[in-house]
């Protein structure tokens, strides 16, 4: 079984996760909720911090998830160049928080960035685990995309699927755990 170590030599595994998707879908808040149990109702565009790490316990093993946040127009280039530099290797999981529950069309449900990166990675020789996340489930009155529609799209692209709310915390931990557990399973 492979094992990765970082500078403190304590964790058994280091998994790298990247958040991609349209602006304002809640990527930064999903990370803030997961890593710090915080929420920002008026969060500005992502600046500064490139990633945060969060320790998780999977089957009694300490797994460290290094979660990369991405922002704005640079997101696709940042993700791909990091990928080509090998900076995010050797294992990647991708939380595609690029789903707006407020988008009516199925096409808009998975934006072009998510599609492009998913395509790039699924056609590479790298093992990738991807989850499509529909965030902001607390805004039920504004929902225009049904759970079944999101689920069907995810299935069509072989992605995991989960609906979350960074505001009320529902499924946030579960979404990150889904990909981390899947990678752990693949590795072990
Ligand atoms: P990002 O551009 O994808 O990083 O999106 P942000 O995390 O900055 O969130 C954009 C806006 O949506 C902010 O005003 C957040 O407060 C809000 N937001 C994020 N997640 C949720 C959620 O689960 N529920 C609600 N109601 N608002 C959210
Ligand atoms: Mg952001």
Which pLDDT tens digit goes with each residue over 112-156?
666 666 666 666 655 677 888 888 889 888 877 788 888 888 888
Q: Sort residue 104 into left (φ over 0), alpha (ψ -120 to 50) or beta.
A: alpha
Rounded to an integer, what distance in angstroms lies between the CA atom of residue 160 and that of residue 162?
7
pLDDT digits (tens, 9 = 90+) for 70-103: 765 455 566 666 655 555 555 555 565 543 333 3
pLDDT value, residue 106: 45
Q: Decide whether any atom of ligand 1 lies within 6 Å of the 143 Cβ.
A: no
Q: Decide whether any atom of ligand 1 lies within 6 Å of the 150 Cβ.
A: no
Q: Decide whether any atom of ligand 1 lies within 6 Å of the 171 Cβ.
A: no
Rounded to an integer, what distance in angstroms lies between the CA atom of residue 88 and that of residue 93?
10
Residue 87 has a CB neighbour count (10 Å cut-off) of 10
> What is the Å distance from ligand 2's center to 167 Cα?
15
Nearest atom (ligand 1) to Cα of 135: 23
What is the ipTM for the molecules in this complex?
0.99
- For residue 39, is pLDDT > 50? yes
pTM of the model: 0.82
């Amino acid at each position: 079984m492979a094992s990765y170590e970082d500078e403190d030599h304590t964790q058994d595994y280091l998994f790298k996760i990247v958040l991609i998707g349209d602006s304002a879908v809640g990527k930064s808040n999903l990370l803030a909720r997961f890593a710090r149990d915080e929420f920002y109702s008026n969060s500005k565009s992502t600046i500064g911090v490139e990633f945060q790490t969060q320790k998780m316990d999977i089957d009694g093993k300490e797994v460290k998830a290094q979660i990369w946040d991405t922002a704005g127009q640079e997101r696709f280039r940042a993700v791909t160049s990091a990928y080509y530099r090998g900076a995010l290797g050797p294992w990647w999981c991708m939380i595609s928080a690029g789903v707006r529950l407020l988008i009516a069309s199925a096409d808009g449900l998975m934006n072009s960035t998510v599609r492009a990166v998913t395509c790039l990675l699924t056609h590479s020789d790298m093992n990738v685990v991807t989850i499509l996340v529909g965030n902001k489930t607390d805004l039920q009155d504004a929902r225009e995309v049904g759970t079944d529609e999101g689920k069907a799209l995810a299935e069509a692209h072989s992605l995991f699927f989960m609906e979350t709310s960074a505001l009320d915390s529902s499924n946030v931990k579960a979404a990150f755990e889904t990909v981390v557990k899947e990678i752990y399973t693949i590795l072990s």
